[in-house]
C-alpha cells in the first residue's frame, strides 16, 4: 500500500525550481490523523529519485505509517561556471550547507532549504505531524542529517546515517566543498558543518544515534572516518550505535539491506 508522489516547487532559498519525492503510507492517505515524517538526505550525484527507486524502504514505512521525504542534493536549472565540472562539487553536491562565497551564495543554500523551506512546504501540503519528524541520510546526506540534527536540537526526534562523512573538515570531499562554498580561510564556518566537531558543544537531547558502515567501503578510511564520530559521541555523552557491517560497500545494495532497521529505529522515537 501507499503512494509515491513527486512535488515541484519554486524555492526562495535556492532561487530555482526544485523537486522532492514523497512516499505516503496508506494510513496517512486515507485517515485524518497526522503521520510521522522521516527525511532522507541523499549522497553525491543523487537526485530525489535514487532513494525512492533503490532503497526498498516502502514496506517498512507503510507498516509503521511513516511519510518519507526525499529532497534533491543541490539547486537545479541554474547556470554557474564550474558547477558541472566534477561529481563532488556543484550540481548534486550541495553538502547541505549555506554557501558564503559570492559565486555560490545566491543559490547554494541547501541547509536553509532543508531545515526551513522544505519543512514548511511538507508540513503545509502533506498529512504529517510537525512534532514527529526525524532525519537520516547516506554519505554526503549522512553528513547532512547528522549536522542538521546536531545544529537544531529538538527539531528532529532522531537521526541515523549510512556511511556518513563524519569529519568533513579533514577529508578530501569536505575540504574541496568547504573551500569552494565557504572559503579557504573561513575555518570557523567549516566547523559549523562538521558532525564530529559539533558534538563538542552539543547540548541537546541525548537520543541514541544509529550509524551503519560497510567494512568494504572504498571511501571508509580516507573520506568517512566513523571512528572519529564514535570518539566525539563518547566524549559528549551521546549514545552511538556504530555497526560495522562486514563485506558491504558504499552502494544502495548496502542501504536496501539495512533500511528497515533504520525506519524501525526512527519509529521508536516518533511514537
Positions annotated as catalytic residues are 139, 217, 250
Alpha-carbon distance 184 to 145, whole Å? Answer: 24
* CA-based max dimension of the chain: 53
Residue 261's alpha-carbon distances to 56, 161, 258, 264, in angstroms, are 12, 11, 5, 5
Alpha-carbon distance 89 to 106, whole Å? Answer: 16
Phi, psi at 216, each rounded to 5°: -100, 15
| β-strand pairing of 16-24 with 3-11 | antiparallel
Alpha-carbon distance 210 to 261, whole Å? Answer: 10
Residue 11 CB contacts under 8 Å (≥ 6 apart), including other chains: 17, 18, 75, 113, 117
CA 16, 40, 142 angle in degrees (round to 5)?
Answer: 100
Amino acid at each position: 500500500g501507499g503512494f509515491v508522489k513527486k512535488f515541484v516547487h519554486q524555492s526562495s532559498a535556492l532561487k530555482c525550481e526544485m523537486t522532492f519525492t514523497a512516499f505516503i503510507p496508506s494510513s496517512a492517505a486515507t485517515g485524518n490523523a497526522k503521520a510521522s515524517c522521516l527525511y532522507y538526505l541523499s549522497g553525491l550525484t543523487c537526485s530525489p529519485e535514487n532513494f525512492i527507486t533503490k532503497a526498498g524502504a516502502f514496506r517498512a514505512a507503510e507498516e509503521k505509517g511513516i511519510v518519507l521525504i526525499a529532497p534533491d542534493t543541490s539547486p537545479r536549472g541554474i547556470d554557474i561556471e564550474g558547477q558541472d565540472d566534477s561529481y563532488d562539487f556543484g550540481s548534486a553536491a550541495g553538502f547541505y550547507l549555506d554557501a558564503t562565497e559570492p559565486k555560490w551564495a545566491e543559490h547554494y543554500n541547501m541547509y536553509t532549504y532543508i531545515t526551513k523551506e522544505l519543512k514548511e512546504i511538507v508540513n503545509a501540503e502533506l498529512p504529517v505531524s510537525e512534532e514527529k519528524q526525524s532525519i537520516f541520510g547516506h554519505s554526503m546526506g549522512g553528513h547532512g542529517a547528522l549536522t542538521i540534527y546536531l545544529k537544531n536540537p529538538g527539531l528532529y526526534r532522531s537521526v541515523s546515517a549510512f556511511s556518513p562523512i563524519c569529519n568533513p573538515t579533514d577529508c578530501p570531499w569536505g575540504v574541496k566543498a568547504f573551500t569552494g562554498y565557504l572559503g579557504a580561510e573561513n575555518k570557523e564556518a567549516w566547523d559549523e558543518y562538521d558532525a564530529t566537531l559539533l558534538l563538542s558543544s552539543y547540548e541537546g537531547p541525548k537520543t541514541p544515534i544509529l550509524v551503519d558502515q560497510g567494512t568494504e567501503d572504498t571511501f571508509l578510511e580516507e573520506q568517512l572516518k566513523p571512528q572519529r564520530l564514535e570518539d566525539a559521541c563518547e566524549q559528549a555523552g551521546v549514545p552511538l550505535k556504530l555497526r560495522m557491517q562486514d563485506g558491504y560497500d558504499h552502494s544502495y545494495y548496502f542501504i536496501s539491506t539495512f533500511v528497515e532497521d533504520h525506519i524501525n529505529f526512527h519509529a521508536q522515537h516518533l511514537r
